[in-house]
Structures are given as C-alpha cells and as structure tokens.
Amino acid sequence: MTAKTPAPTTLTGSHIRLEPLTRGHLSDLFAAGGNDDEVWRWQGGPTPRTEEELGAKLDVLLADDSFVAFAVIVLATGRAVGWTTFLDISPVDERLEIGWTWYGSAYWRSPVNTEAKLLLLTHAFEDLGMGRVQWKTDHLNQRSQNAIARLGAQREGVLRRHRQRPDGTFRDSVYFSMLKDEWPAAKERLTERLARG
C-alpha cells in the first residue's frame, strides 16, 4: 500500500499552529531567530544578518517542491517563531524525513518543539499512512540529537563524511527513525510531556 503524498496543510495544537510557510512570515521569523548565531550554527550557510538574507534562505526552501514547509506559529501571539519541513518524501516506500527545523532560541526547551513534532508525526503516521519517519543531524549537534531521542526515535547509525559544512569541514550525519508500530507509545509519551508543560 502506498502512503499519501504530503501537501501544504494547517495543523493546530494547544500551543502552536503549523501552517504553509510563505514570504509573509519573514518579518516574524527574522525577529524570532535572525542574526542569532546559535540558532543558525547547524543550519548550513552563514547566519542571516538581515531580513533580506533570511528571505534568501526562505526563497530557496519555497522554490524546492521536494519540501513541504511549515511556519511554526505560537497561538498566544500569532507570530511565526521558526519553520520545519517534510523532505526526502517517498510515498511508495511509506517514508519521509522531518528536517530543516529551527526555532528562535527563546522557544528552545519549551512546548513548541514537542507539539510541533506531535503534530507532524500524527499527520505522517495517521493521516498520510507513513511507515517510517526519519531525522538526521550533525554528529557535533548534541542538543539536536538529545531532542530527537526524547521523541522516542531510535538512533540508527552514522553516515561518515556525509556533508560539507559552510566552513569547508565535513560532518558525519547521525540518523534516527521512528516506525509506525513505535508511534503509539511515542505519541503517548509526547502527549504526557506536553500536558506537563
């Protein structure tokens, strides 16, 4: 059975809403995380120092139809505080990746990431019929690895010398995944964590 191909959609939770990313989110996004070296340290390319520089990154993402990109909106303010995407999508193989995710540092270790992943994973497994969701991250990005592991994803392995960083060095990529039969237990843990705040 082939899974459904993801399309732009809106997913709403208790704290955040994920909606199709557009250029209309640019000012909020720059206010949340532009010109912040810690936010962009692992994102590839230099830190956007101006709204125009962040707009160029956003334009690259929007021009690539292999991504389904979401703006992350905090319901309490109505402001975009980051973006996240579905990528490496293969409905015939029932798999996709969640990646190119960032949030303004004020939202790290808040309900934002937990609920974003709960919404994305629910959509991937329950609406689209995916059998596998994966993540990859730089082997030096321990914060990201810890966040992925807290979702209940399993560390699968490392692709050595996988991608070149902006400074010319090469990173190893750590891969994680979650399978559809692991999702119910992970969903329960994420829901409980979100309820605790």
pLDDT in tens, the chain (197 residues): 689 999 999 999 999 999 999 999 999 999 999 999 999 988 877 899 999 999 999 999 999 999 999 999 999 999 999 999 999 999 999 999 999 999 999 999 899 999 999 999 999 999 999 999 999 999 999 999 999 999 999 999 999 999 988 888 999 999 999 999 999 999 999 999 999 87
Strand order in the sheet with 79-90: 11-12, 16-20, 68-74, 79-90, 95-103, 132-138, 170-179, 154-164
At residue 128, φ and ψ (nearest 5 deg) are -95, -20
Q: Yes or no: is domain 11-196 CATH 3.40.630.30?
A: yes
Structure confidence by residue, pLDDT tens digits, 65-100: 999 999 999 999 999 999 999 999 999 999 999 999
Q: Show me where the domains of the chain are located.
A: 11-196
Cβ atoms of 134 and 177 within 8 Å: the answer is yes
First to last CA, the chain: 37
